[in-house]
Chain A
């Protein structure tokens, strides 16, 4: 059994994870990131269930989390298949690529201005040459007699 203070703290963590997942699934347009957000919500619910289970000294919550894991695995398998099929037909992982399915009265999503792609290009380490560059003309080095 856990004390009530631990229960409330764990419930708080579960609530934060759930709300973060909610914001993610509402805003992000990449299908994969949307599914990751859904999994984040499942994690929040799992923390909540386990906290209640430990608080009440009852195994029901933990058994339920085992089934949540099972259903999440099934969901990921089936959903990723559909994501791959969607990618094969549009070439994009964009949820807005399917906006022709929207209701009649909803506005169309148009990307008016895109932010600049401000990724930092990685600078690879420059390796200083070890030893001395061998002298000699290039024609000699192509001959295979001194290998």
Chain B
């Protein structure tokens, strides 16, 4: 594939439901109740149950690995958790949109990809960046 600065990754849309959060809690071992218990989430001042930041990071990473076609090609990956993704108690859940753009070509055939991750039109991750080995 031809990659240059400004090359855009295919946009990816994800739906995140409460069931996804319960499954991620079990798989990751992060059982913080703010990710599955509305009562606790409200008590600590959140607008409702929120997704694990690490779950959002994992989904955003899929936009990168889907683009390169090789999960092992993602050599560096970082995010700042800016705003929580509130997940309503319904079948639709929350929507997550991941866009990415090649920001720099590095040495050794690597590229830096900057990601824009939004939910309900608001940015939920900031400084979301990946370094990938290009095929």
Q: Do A and B share a complex?
A: no
